[in-house]
A and B are shown apart, each in its own frame.
Chain A
Amino acid sequence: MLRSTRARSVLLTTLVVPGLLLTACSSGSPAAGSSASATADAETATPGGTLRFALGASPSGVDPQQVGSNVSIYIARQLADSLTDQDPETGEIVPWLAQSWDVSDDLTQFTFHLRDDVTFSDGTPLTATTVKANFDALVGPLAATAPLAGSYLSGYQGTTVDDEHTVTVAFATPNAQFLQATSTVSLAILSDATATTDPAARLQGEIVGSGPFELEEYTQDQGATIVRRDGYAWPSEVSENPGEAYLDQIDFSIVPESGVRSGGLASDQFDAVGDVLPQDVPQVEGSGGAVLTRTNPGVAFVLQPNVSAGPLADPDVRAAVQVAINRQELVDTVLSEAFKPATSVLASTTPGYVDLSDELAFDQDGAADALDDAGWTLGADGIREKGGEKLSFDVVYAPLFTGSQAVLELTQQQLKAVGVDLQVRQQTPAEQQAALTAGDYDTYYYNVTRADGDILRTQFSSKFRNINKRPADTVLDPLLDAQLAQGDAAKRDDDLATAQRTILEDGYAIPLFELAQSIGVGADVHGLAFDASSRLLFHDAWIGADQ
């Protein structure tokens, strides 16, 4: 049994050279679940020991419902369980705190049948009222500081306690993404007392969860210590470990220098480290360790054009740019084999993803011809122009992900080859936010992590932030709304596939590559796993005897 589940997980983990990693950016909704094991050994897990983990950046807090960055979730996810879990391999939603659930045909009523043996670390039991208190708080006192959870609960009408262990969540409109959302850390269930605790105090550690670990100590900007929860017996169905966590304790420290993280791992000052950069891989592997990687689901790194003005208002230009970029070259030249070229607007690990690599195939001559046909003629300086307007646009980006600058500079060269001028504007995250609000960009460069195709709706519908600055339409907007009301999974995937195709054909996104996580682990660390949102799970992790 143990063997077979491990063997399955091994397929998932890619023990390859990892890539440039991002420190604090890109998160979204992490789903729970366990899968990719660190190593494919048939040894039996040994309980006990302390795992020392070096985070690449400072967490913003430890409240599962309020945090969004990867490093915060690495800690928070271990402290709390969710109603459901998502299998990282299949994307399927499986039981966790809820043994089963019923969804009404119109996708507005979700009834969860809870396990009756779950307790929080303060000894209080999980009941239907706990779930109601959590969701009510998320749309109440936490609404301002838990934006991710709030977006999952959009249209929330209320929660009804049916009996002690049955609860029904109701929405005003169909909400097909909600079931996956219940698997995320953002909708993790905390104790009744926590639901009424001040949001700022919760962020600082006043939280009680039912997870395999409980918080012992958290000091802002210094680190955290979590310890095993005795008596834990309700892991999700995808977890390999049926009971208490193997590790006694995990010490998280914050080590911003990547070279110090890998040097500390190699000299046995850490057991595992986050965000391993390509230049540090030899040191990690040279010391007998390994680098685990997994592609983040959600929107891949894209250039999202502002179609309201400038040359990018011309659909022919967007279509030409789409094929003028050689994505494989981006990955081969400036990233590493941990990264994959984008093959859709969604990353390949996202449920509902469809492979559109044909649409994105590199075709330099085709791009040049298309621009010629559209009336953009080459000027003396090698840049095309039409009616006195230069074929020049900018990209606004914040260098949260280490490799972004190199990727964009290479993209710039590739576009230059077809007479298109790309101006790269590096900004701080604050400036990028300001540019977004002001609409001061020709293309916006970013990614979002979410293990559900509904992320297309929030990023590409004209009804929300509307990064594309496009008018409402009769194709894409209705499609993005329709998938949210589609109860049939296969039909919903069809809608999402059509949406991905439309977004690429209309040039509303010019995808570049898929983000990946890379985690360095020492030779004696086993069972460290990624969940469906590519965040770490420590429930199955154990430390073996030194090699």
Chain B
Amino acid sequence: MTAYVLRRLGAAVLVLWAAFTVSFAVLYLLPSDPVSIMLDAANPGGTVDPAQVAELSARYGFDRPPLEQYLVLLGRAVTGDLGVSVTSGAPVSQLLADAFPQTLALTSFALGIALLLGGTIAAVSSWSRSTRLRGALLALPPLGVSMPTFWIGLLLLQLFSFRLPLFPAVGNQGFGSLVLPAVTLAIPLSAVIAQVLARSMRTAWDAPYVETALAKGASRGRVQWRHVTRNAALPALTLLGIAVGNLLAGAVVVETVFSRAGFGGLVEKAVRTQDIPVVQGVVVVGALVFVVVNLVVDLAYPALDPRIARTPATA
């Protein structure tokens, strides 16, 4: 077990390094440079003085060879120093510390809603003997997946903020501001969860142990809860690991639509201004979350199903 965890941690470090390196390379290869973009923003349409570009480039080390820049950034990152934003001069760790709790609250709430919604749809559809109800429920996931997130968001805003003043349209203030964005983010994910869970629950209902349980006199509800759900949970759990990535990506759109401060807005602006330190900070933290969640998911398998051998997997 310890060796397994160590191997997984080693793989995690590799993933973080790769994320750091690839994001540096991609940003470095983009046309223009953060200094020119910044000067243009400070003097839109105006004349850019090459002397100013040279001075700022030297200040941020952009005049050094790319390999040297990369190694300096990597060396600092290893010691926990993510540098300062080129555009604003704010420390990247501060920007991340401001944004991360917001996005964490949003994505965890969305995940909770998605599990509840997706789980309920799947459970009711597999438990129910009414084909009409089952058909209706199983039609929901494809619908949920095919609606674009920003459209769902704008629709919810129109209905529950502009028409009925139930929730604020923008901002990060209070629980109320979290509801609409979290629901928006949860809908596509709950659809996927419902689809996968419903299928594995159907399979479980056909399994011999269900027949045995029913023969022993268990009610459908008890069979659904005790036997079917537990056995069908594994594929959904795997899905959860991937879902975290989707949630982080979805947060970019949702945070923009709902004008929420968070990772999404931070990364969108940083990419646009080629603010390499900020993008790298976000990428590394995002990768870290992804790695940790998947590690937890992998470690949770044996707890749910003792039959599972602990075979090393890659992150």
Interface assignment of A500: CB less than 8 Å from any CB of chain B: no
Alpha-carbon distance between A203 and B261 when the two chains are bound, in angstroms: 19
A25, A54, A430, A437: the one contacting B274 at CB < 8 Å is A430
Interface assignment of A125: CB less than 8 Å from any CB of chain B: no
Q: Which residues of A contact B154 (CB under 8 A)?
A: 257, 259-260
> A430 contacts B37, CB within 8 Å?
yes
> B162 contacts A267, CB within 8 Å?
yes
Q: Which residues of A contact B41 (CB under 8 A)?
A: 24, 60, 68-69
> A151 contacts B44, CB within 8 Å?
no
What residue of chain A has the Cβ atom nearest to residue B154's Cβ?
A: A259
Query: How far apart are B150's CB and chain A's nearest CB, in angstroms?
Result: 8
What residue of chain B has the Cβ atom nearest to residue A283's Cβ?
A: B162
Q: Which of A40-48, A138-146, A330-338, A538-546 binds B? A: A138-146
In A25-45, the 8 Å CB interface with B consists of 25-28
B32, B59, B259, B273: the one contacting A253 at CB < 8 Å is B259
Alpha-carbon distance between A253 and B46 when the two chains are bound, in angstroms: 28
What residue of chain B has the Cβ atom nearest to residue A219's Cβ?
A: B98
A 232-272 binary contact with B (CB < 8 Å = 1; else 0): 00000000000000000000011111011001101111000
Q: Given the known A-B contacts A267-B169, A269-B168, A429-B37, are A144 and B47 also in contact in the complex, defined by CB atoms under 8 Å? A: no
Query: How far apart are A249's CB and chain B's nearest CB, in angstroms?
Result: 15
Q: Given the known A-B contacts A67-B42, A68-B44, A431-B31, are A60 and B88 also in contact in the complex, defined by CB atoms under 8 Å? A: yes
Interface assignment of B161: CB less than 8 Å from any CB of chain A: yes
> A28 contacts B265, CB within 8 Å?
no
Interface assignment of A446: CB less than 8 Å from any CB of chain B: yes
Alpha-carbon distance between A126 and B248 when the two chains are bound, in angstroms: 50
Interface assignment of A428: CB less than 8 Å from any CB of chain B: yes
Interface size of A in residues (CB-CB distance below 8 Å):
61
Query: How far apart are B225's CB and chain A's nearest CB, in angstroms?
Result: 42
Interface assignment of B311: CB less than 8 Å from any CB of chain A: no
What residue of chain A has the Cβ atom nearest to residue B161's Cβ?
A: A267
Interface assignment of B95: CB less than 8 Å from any CB of chain A: yes
> B44 contacts A150, CB within 8 Å?
no
Q: Which residues of B contact A502 (CB under 8 A)?
A: none
Determine the main DSSP class of A at the interface with B: mixed
Q: Given the known A-B contacts A221-B266, A431-B31, are A147 and B89 also in contact in the complex, defined by CB atoms under 8 Å? A: no
Most chain-B CB neighbours within 10 Å: which of A66, A150, A256, A465? A256
Query: How far apart are A350's CB and chain B's nearest CB, in angstroms?
Result: 14
Q: Which residues of A contact B90 (CB under 8 A)?
A: 200, 204, 220
Alpha-carbon distance between A254 and B261 when the two chains are bound, in angstroms: 9
Q: Which residues of B contact A66 (CB under 8 A)?
A: 42
What residue of chain A has the Cβ atom nearest to residue B164's Cβ?
A: A267
What residue of chain B has the Cβ atom nearest to residue A437's Cβ?
A: B36
> B47 contacts A27, CB within 8 Å?
no
> B45 contacts A266, CB within 8 Å?
no
Interface assignment of A199: CB less than 8 Å from any CB of chain B: yes
B42, B44, B256: the one contacting A26 at CB < 8 Å is B44
Q: Which residues of A contact B32 (CB under 8 A)?
A: 430-431, 433-434, 437
Q: Given the known A-B contacts A66-B42, A203-B89, A221-B265, are A430 and B56 also in contact in the complex, defined by CB atoms under 8 Å? A: no
What residue of chain A has the Cβ atom nearest to residue B87's Cβ?
A: A60
Q: Given the known A-B contacts A144-B52, A219-B98, A433-B37, are A264 and B170 also in contact in the complex, defined by CB atoms under 8 Å? A: yes
Query: How far apart are A429's CB and chain B's nearest CB, in angstroms?
Result: 6
Interface assignment of A406: CB less than 8 Å from any CB of chain B: no
B52, B257, B261: the one contacting A219 at CB < 8 Å is B261
What residue of chain A has the Cβ atom nearest to residue B261's Cβ?
A: A222
In A257-297, the 8 Å CB interface with B consists of 257, 259-260, 263-264, 266-269
Alpha-carbon distance between A114 and B89 when the two chains are bound, in angstroms: 34
What residue of chain A has the Cβ atom nearest to residue B98's Cβ?
A: A219
Interface assignment of A157: CB less than 8 Å from any CB of chain B: no
> A147 contacts B52, CB within 8 Å?
yes
In A462-487, the 8 Å CB interface with B consists of 464-465
Interface assignment of A303: CB less than 8 Å from any CB of chain B: no
What residue of chain A has the Cβ atom nearest to residue B268's Cβ?
A: A256
B36, B89, B169, B265: the one contacting A264 at CB < 8 Å is B169
Q: Given the known A-B contacts A220-B88, A263-B158, A263-B161, are A68 and B43 also in contact in the complex, defined by CB atoms under 8 Å? A: yes
Q: Given the known A-B contacts A220-B90, A255-B170, are A25 and B43 also in contact in the complex, defined by CB atoms under 8 Å? A: no
> A430 contacts B256, CB within 8 Å?
no
Interface assignment of B81: CB less than 8 Å from any CB of chain A: no
Alpha-carbon distance between A405 and B162 when the two chains are bound, in angstroms: 30
Q: Given the known A-B contacts A263-B169, A430-B36, are A449 and B88 also in contact in the complex, defined by CB atoms under 8 Å? A: no
Alpha-carbon distance between A260 and B42 when the two chains are bound, in angstroms: 27
Interface assignment of B221: CB less than 8 Å from any CB of chain A: no
Interface assignment of A299: CB less than 8 Å from any CB of chain B: yes
Q: Which residues of B contact A428 (CB under 8 A)?
A: 31, 272
> A147 contacts B49, CB within 8 Å?
yes
Alpha-carbon distance between A428 and B257 when the two chains are bound, in angstroms: 21
> A26 contacts B170, CB within 8 Å?
no
A254, A431, A434: the one contacting B259 at CB < 8 Å is A254
Query: How far apart are B109's CB and chain A's nearest CB, in angstroms?
Result: 19
Alpha-carbon distance between A69 and B256 when the two chains are bound, in angstroms: 20
Q: Given the known A-B contacts A25-B44, A68-B43, A204-B90, are A269 and B170 also in contact in the complex, defined by CB atoms under 8 Å? A: yes
B 76-107 binary contact with A (CB < 8 Å = 1; else 0): 00000000100111100001001100000000
Q: Which residues of B contact A25 (CB under 8 A)?
A: 44-45
Can you list 6 residue pairs at the A/B interface with Cβ under 8 Å? A145-B42, A151-B43, A151-B47, A253-B170, A299-B45, A449-B45
**Residue ranges of B at the interface with A (Cβ–Cβ < 8 Å):** 30-33, 36-49, 52, 55-56, 59, 84, 87-90, 95, 98-99, 154, 157-158, 161-163, 165, 168-172, 256-259, 261, 265-266, 269, 272-274
Given contacts A299-B45, A459-B45, 7 further A-B contacts (CB under 8 A): A68-B42, A267-B163, A267-B169, A430-B36, A433-B40, A437-B32, A448-B45
Q: Which are the 6 A-B pairs with shortest beta-carbon distances?
A: A200-B89, A448-B45, A430-B32, A434-B31, A434-B32, A263-B162
